[in-house]
A and B are shown apart, each in its own frame.
Chain A
Amino acid sequence: GNSVTQMEGPVTLSEEAFLTINCTYTATGYPSLFWYVQYPGEGLQLLLKATKADDKGSNKGFEATYRKETTSFHLEKGSVQVSDSAVYFCALILSGGYQKVTFGTGTKLQVIP
Chain B
Amino acid sequence: KAGVTQTPRYLIKTRGQQVTLSCSPISGHRSVSWYQQTPGQGLQFLFEYFSETQRNKGNFPGRFSGRQFSNSRSEMNVSTLELGDSALYLCASSLEVNEKLFFGSGTQLSVL
Contacts and interface: CB of A to CB of B under 8 A. Distances in A.
Interface residues of B, number: 23
A77 B106 CA distance: 28
Q: Interface size for chain A: under 10, 10 to 19, 20 to 34, or 35 or more residues?
A: 20 to 34
Contacts of B106: 43
B110 to A, nearest CB: 15
Given A103-B42, A106-B42, A106-B43, A98 B97 contact: yes
Interface stretch (B12-20, B48-56, B60-68, B71-79): B48-56
A86 to B, nearest CB: 13
B45 A100 contact: yes
B80 to A, nearest CB: 25
Nearest to B57: A100
A89 B103 CA distance: 13
